[in-house]
Amino acid sequence: MLAPMEAVRLLLGLRHRGRAEDLPAVLARAAPLLDAQTAGVLLIDYGQMELCPLQGTPSDTVEALPVEGTTAGLAFTTARETWLPDGDGGRLWQPLLHGAERLGVLEMRRSDYPSEADRRDLEVIAALVAELIASRRFYGDAVEHTRRRLPMQVAAEIIWNQLPPLTLAVDGTVLTAVLEPCYDVGGDAFDYAANGDLLHVGLFDTVGHGIAASALTTLTLNTYRNARRSGLSLTDTYRSIDKWIRAQYPGSFVTAMLAELDTVTGAYRRISAGHPVELLLRDGRSMPALPAPTALPLGLGNMLSRQPAVIELALRPGDTIVFYTDGIIEARDVTGVLFGPDRLAAFMLDLLRRRTPAPEAMRRLIHNVIAYESGELRDDATAAMLQWRH
């Protein structure tokens, strides 16, 4: 018989003492309380290709599984529990969600499929496990060791440590992003903040690569946050970032999309600072492009005397906006043909028709772009997807 509260008390023992790598042993002790023979955590790797046992898991209890073509992968991509029966019962996989961020899956070996009431209790357990992973990850490197399938370059290390969670969901609005190459990214970045009814979004593409680019990106991100937290308008935010880049990195520049969305009314405002124009997808089709760019890249703003133009648009319920850096549309196949904005729009519209969840749509997009370039990107490629009342 399920004893969920006993399992909760056992897991909560990690709140004030314990590391992420201690979680597998605690889950093994909790498994009998959940009518399971075994219980374990698999985390998604940085490339979002494989679900990997959390460091500290005995090698004979849980194995790494590919996302594609597995029941565990289906639980991850759909954010819904899955069940795979076998002769002695089966395996239950539950998505591990920290907010809307997909961390991985919780795997349980059971003698039978749980009842509806038990599944509700197990959802609570999975939510608690996700919270413990998110809160314990910064006290050691177990989560990072688990998620890395390749050595990470220092430039990428710097950028990943600057970024917010990949996915945000609040009041019917979803924002999710993806970056590649995940182990060597240095010039691309994104940021967001949901403050009251206002969602702030920034997408940045820094000139250059490596440590120099990541240092400039770090300044850009933190100047953007400082301007936002100081209550500056979009125009003054542009000016602030532009001023600091010129002062600290003269001659360098960053293209950017600086946007705001009123999540109640759908009022959308943005500045395109030398950045590729976003896609607006509505009712199964791509809408005419908004004016872009409306300002010079950040760091070059002093070359024009006019103010950066802020474009305004009233979104409709169900609208989707796709932001991207030039690494997406400038990907080339073996014959040199560009991926291009039309192919991007067609790909995203197909995913929307299939009702693909936004985080999964971004995962599939970046893998499609990588495959288009025969498995190796020539440039950093970043995309973000914003859905309003979808």
Cα radius of gyration (the chain):
22
Per-residue pLDDT of 68-89, as tens digits, reads 999 999 999 999 999 999 988 9
- CATH 3.30.450.40 range(s) for the chain read 4-147
Per-residue pLDDT of 108-145, as tens digits, reads 999 999 999 999 999 999 999 999 999 999 999 999 99
- How many H-runs (helices) and E-runs (strands) does the chain carry? 11, 17
Per-residue pLDDT at 180 exceeds 90: yes
For residue 387, give the 3-state DSSP assignment: strand
Q: What torsion, rounded to 10 degrees, do the Cα atoms 257, 191, 385, 271 define?
A: -20
- CATH 3.60.40.10 range(s) for the chain read 154-388
What pLDDT shows up at residue 1?
61
Q: Would you tell me which CATH number, out of the four given (3.30.450.40, 3.40.718.10, 3.40.50.300, 3.20.20.450), belongs to the domain 4-147?
A: 3.30.450.40
Contact 118, 58 (CB under 8 A): no
Contact 258, 324 (CB under 8 A): no
Per-residue pLDDT at 390 exceeds 80: no
Which alpha helices (H) appear in 230-339, and where do they start and end?
234-248, 326-329
Per-residue pLDDT of 209-245, as tens digits, reads 889 999 999 999 999 999 999 999 999 999 999 999 9
Per-residue pLDDT of 23-44, as tens digits, reads 999 999 999 999 999 999 999 9
Contact 270, 259 (CB under 8 A): yes
What is each CA distance from 137 to 93, 124, 134, in whole angstroms? 22, 20, 6
Superfamily of domain 154-388: PPM-type phosphatase domain (3.60.40.10)
> Could you tell me which of 196, 150, 147, 202 has the C-alpha nearest to residue 177?
202
What pLDDT shows up at residue 121?
95
Portion of the chain with pLDDT greater than 90, in percent: 88
Neighbours of 5 (CB within 10 A): 11
**Exposure of 129 in the CB half-sphere (CA atoms within 13 A):** 35
Point out which residues pair with 44 in neighbouring strands.
51
Portion of the chain with pLDDT greater than 70, in percent: 100
- Angle, CA 163 vertex, CA 161 and CA 164 arms, to 5°: 125
- In this structure, of 9-13, 279-283, 301-305, the range with the lowest mean pLDDT score is 301-305
What pLDDT shows up at residue 306?
85
Higher pLDDT, 287 or 18: 287
Kindly indicate the confidence band of residue 163, based on its pLDDT and cuts at 50, 70 and 90. very high
What pLDDT shows up at residue 225?
98
Q: What is the chain's length?
A: 390
**Sheet strands side by side (includes 285-286):** 167-170, 173-180, 381-388, 320-324, 279-282, 285-286
What pLDDT shows up at residue 141?
96
What pLDDT shows up at residue 176?
98
Q: Specify whether the backbone of 186 is left (phi greater than 0), alpha (psi in -120 to 50) or beta.
A: alpha
The predicted model gives 256-279 an average pLDDT of 98
Token pair for 198: 């206002």
> Could you tell me which of 13, 9, 19 has the C-alpha nearest to residue 135?
19
Contact 20, 133 (CB under 8 A): yes
Contact 308, 235 (CB under 8 A): yes
> Could you tell me which of 164, 266, 283 has the C-alpha nearest to residue 224?
164
Token pair for 15: 């709140």
Mean pLDDT taken over the chain: 95
Per-residue pLDDT at 374 exceeds 80: yes
Per-residue pLDDT at 61 exceeds 80: no
Per-residue pLDDT at 62 exceeds 90: no
Per-residue pLDDT at 379 exceeds 90: no
Per-residue pLDDT of 313-362, as tens digits, reads 999 999 999 999 999 999 999 999 999 999 999 999 999 999 999 999 99
Token pair for 95: 């998505």
CB environment 126-154: b (16+ within 10 A), e (fewer):
bbbbbbbbbebbeebebbbebbbeeebbe
What pLDDT shows up at residue 14?
87
The predicted model gives 263-283 an average pLDDT of 97
Type of residue numbered 63: E
